[in-house]
C-alpha cells in the first residue's frame, strides 16, 4: 500500500472517490500501530469500540452521498491523554489517574467526533503535560520515529510521534509552554498552537489554566488548518473561551507572503542555538524572502525574563489545579487509615518526580509572604512581555524564528531539570502572551528534523497558518519520512 493516502486531505479525497473506506483506513492505522508502537510507545490506550462505530457510520454517510460532509469524516485521529473521552481511561500520563474513566468528553474532542473523525486512541505524554521530552510519563518514554534513541519532544510527544510515524494523519495535543510546537519540530511534522481562548479547554485536564491551549499535529499546514477550523470557536462550557468570531483558516491559506513584513527577533538567535538549527532556519528565512516577504530584525528584550516568569506562573497554577488529586474522588488510592495519611500516601505514590517538583515550586510561590515577591511580580512581567509583542506587531505582520534551539536529543541527556527548562526559551514567550504559533519542518541536522516557528498577533491564527503554508509549499521538507516508517509498510 505504498500509494495509500496519508495526509488528511489525501484520506478525505480517497474516501469520497470510493478508493478506500473508513473501515479500511482504520484497519491500516491499527496495523501501523501494531507494527511500530512497541518501539515508539506513542499510545497509552485504544478506543476500539468507539472507532469501529465511527468508521461504520462514516462509511454509511459516504456511501449514501450525504452532502456537506466535513473533510474529517472517516479519517483516523488520536488525542493526547490529557483530553477526556467519556468512558475511556484518561490518565494524563500519571499513575494517580490510572483507571479514571471520565463521564464526559472534552469539547475539542467532541467536535472532532461530530465532524465524523474516527478516534483510534489516546496518546502518551509527559505526566500532566509537564515536560519537554516525554520522558516524564509514568508509562514509559515516547521514542522519536526518526531515531528511537532520541526523544520526540514534549509534553505532547505521543501525539507528534503518532503522526510522524504515519500511525494517524492527525492528532490533538496541548501547548502550555511549547508542548505542541517543540515536539512537532523534533518529529518533523506541523504543530499549531492557536490563540489562547480560541479552542475550548473544557474537558482538558489542566496543568496551568491561563496557559494551556489545545491544537493539532498534522502532516501538512492545510491539514492542521482543517482540524483547527473543526475544533475552534466559542464554548459556553469554558469560561476562558473567546466569543469573538473565528476567521476561516482555509479561505486565505494560499494567498502567500508577498508584501508581508516578517520580524526576526535577534534574541531568538543567541547563545544556545545549535549551529545546524541556525543554518536551517536562516535558509528558511531566505525562502520567505524569495517569495516576496520583507524580513526585518526586531527586538524582544524580555525574552530573557520569559523563562523565569513562566516557571513561576505555571507551577503556581499547577499547584492549585493538582490539589484535587487526593485519592478520594477518582483515580488511585493508597488507603492508609486516617484521611491525612491517605492524602499523603496517595500523592506520594501517584505523582512522579517532575510533578512533585513543580507542585512544590508553585506552592512556595503562592505561600504567605512570597506571593507578592514571586507570583504577583511574574504576572506583571507577563504583561510586559505581551505588551512588547504588541509593539513589535505594530511594525511587522508576523514573527519568524527557530522553534527549538536544538534538534531531538538522546534519551536521558538532560537529567538536570534546569537544562531541560532552558529548551523552552523560544516557545514560552508565545504562551505568556497568548499568541498563535505554528511550527513547520524546515530542514535536517544530522538526519534530524528542524522546525521553523511562525507567530502572529492574537486571533490572527489564519495569518500564521498562511505564512507557514507558503513556506511549506515552496520546499520539499514535508515529504520526508523517518526511517521507521519506510521500514514498515502495512
Burial code of 40-50, b = ≥16 C-beta within 10 A, e = fewer?
bbbbbbbbeeb
Question: Which residues partner with 453 through β-bridges?
Answer: 401, 439
Please name which of 284, 272, 307 lies closest in space to residue 440, comparing C-alpha atoms.
Answer: 284
209 has catalytic annotation: no
CA distance 315 to 349: 20
Please name which of 96, 47, 82, 46 lies closest in space to residue 155, comparing C-alpha atoms.
Answer: 82
356 has catalytic annotation: no
HSE, side-chain direction, 13 A CA sphere, residue 346: 25
Q: Read out DSSP for 228-256?
A: HHHHBS--TT-TT---SPPP-TTTTTTS-
Q: Which of 29, 171, 179, 484 is catalytic?
A: 179
Helices (H) and strands (E) in the chain, counts: 16, 11
Extract the C-alpha cell encoding 8: 488528511
CA distance 473 to 201: 32
Q: Which of 29, 94, 155, 200 is catalytic?
A: 155
Count the neighbouring beta carbons within 10 Å of the beta carbon of residue 294.
Answer: 15
179 has catalytic annotation: yes
Query: Radius of gyration of the chain from Cα atoms?
Result: 21
Query: What SS3 class is residue 173?
Result: strand
Strand 398-402 versus strand 261-265 pairing type: parallel
- Active-site positions read 80, 155, 179
Amino acid at each position: 500500500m505504498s500509494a495509500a493516502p496519508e495526509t488528511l486531505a489525501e484520506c478525505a479525497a480517497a474516501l469520497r472517490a470510493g478508493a478506500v473506506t473508513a473501515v479500511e483506513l482504520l484497519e491500516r492505522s491499527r496495523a501501523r500501530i501494531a507494527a511500530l508502537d512497541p518501539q515508539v510507545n506513542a499510545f497509552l490506550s485504544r478506543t476500539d469500540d468507539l472507532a469501529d462505530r465511527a468508521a461504520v457510520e462514516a462509511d454509511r454517510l459516504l456511501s449514501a452521498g450525504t452532502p456537506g460532509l466535513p473533510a474529517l469524516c472517516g479519517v483516523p485521529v488520536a488525542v493526547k491523554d490529557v483530553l477526556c473521552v467519556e468512558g475511556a481511561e484518561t490518565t494524563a500520563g500519571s499513575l494517580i489517574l490510572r483507571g479514571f474513566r471520565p463521564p464526559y468528553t472534552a469539547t475539542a474532542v467532541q467536535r472532532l467526533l461530530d465532524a465524523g473523525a474516527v478516534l483510534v486512541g489516546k496518546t502518551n505524554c509527559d505526566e500532566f503535560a509537564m515536560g519537554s521530552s516525554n520522558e516524564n510519563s509514568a508509562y514509559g518514554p515516547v521514542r522519536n520515529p526518526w531515531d528511537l534513541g532520541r526523544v520526540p519532544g514534549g509534553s505532547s510527544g505521543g501525539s507528534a510521534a503518532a503522526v510522524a510515524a504515519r500511525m494517524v494523519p492527525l492528532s490533538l495535543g496541548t501547548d502550555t509552554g511549547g508542548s505542541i510546537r517543540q515536539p512537532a519540530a523534533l518529529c518533523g511534522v506541523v504543530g499549531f498552537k492557536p490563540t489562547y481562548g480560541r479552542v475550548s479547554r473544557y474537558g482538558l485536564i489542566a496543568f496551568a489554566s491561563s496557559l494551556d491551549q489545545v491544537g493539532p499535529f498534522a502532516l501538512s499546514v492545510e491539514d492542521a488548518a482543517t482540524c483547527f477550523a473543526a475544533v475552534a470557536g466559542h464554548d459556553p462550557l469554558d469560561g476562558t473561551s473567546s466569543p469573538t468570531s473565528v476567521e476561516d483558516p482555509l479561505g486565505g491559506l494560499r494567498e502567500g507572503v508577498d508584501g508581508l513584513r516578517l520580524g526576526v527577533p535577534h534574541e531568538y538567535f543567541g547563545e544556545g542555538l545549535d549551529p545546524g538549527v541556525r543554518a536551517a532556519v536562516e535558509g528558511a528565512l531566505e525562502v520567505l524572502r524569495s517569495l516576496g516577504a520583507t524580513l526585518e530584525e526586531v527586538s524582544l528584550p524580555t525574552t530573557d525574563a520569559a523563562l523565569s516568569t513562566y516557571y513561576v506562573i505555571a507551577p503556581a497554577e499547577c499547584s492549585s489545579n493538582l490539589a484535587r488529586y487526593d485519592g478520594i474522588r477518582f483515580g488511585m488510592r493508597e488507603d492508609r487509615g486516617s484521611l491525612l495519611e491517605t492524602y499523603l500516601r496517595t500523592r506520594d505514590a501517584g505523582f512522579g518526580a517532575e510533578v512533585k517538583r513543580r507542585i512544590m515550586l508553585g506552592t512556595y510561590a503562592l505561600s504567605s509572604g512570597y506571593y507578592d515577591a514571586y507570583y504577583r511580580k511574574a504576572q506583571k512581567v507577563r504583561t510586559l512581555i505581551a505588551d512588547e509583542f504588541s509593539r513589535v506587531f505594530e511594525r511587522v505582520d508576523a514573527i519568524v524564528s527557530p522553534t527549538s534551539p536544538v534538534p531531538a536529543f538522546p534519551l536521558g541527556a538532560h537529567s538536570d531539570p534546569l537544562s531541560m527548562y532552558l529548551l523552552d526559551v523560544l516557545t514560552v514567550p508565545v504562551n505568556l502572551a497568548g499568541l498563535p504559533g505554528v511550527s513547520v519542518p524546515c530542514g535536517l541536522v544530522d538526519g534530524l528534523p528542524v522546525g521553523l516557528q511562525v507567530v502572529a498577533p492574537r486571533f490572527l491564527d489564519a495569518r500564521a497558518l498562511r505564512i507557514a503554508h507558503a513556506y511549506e509549499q515552496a520546499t520539499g521538507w514535508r515529504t520526508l519520512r523517518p526511517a521507521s516508517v519506510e521500514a514498515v509498510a502495512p
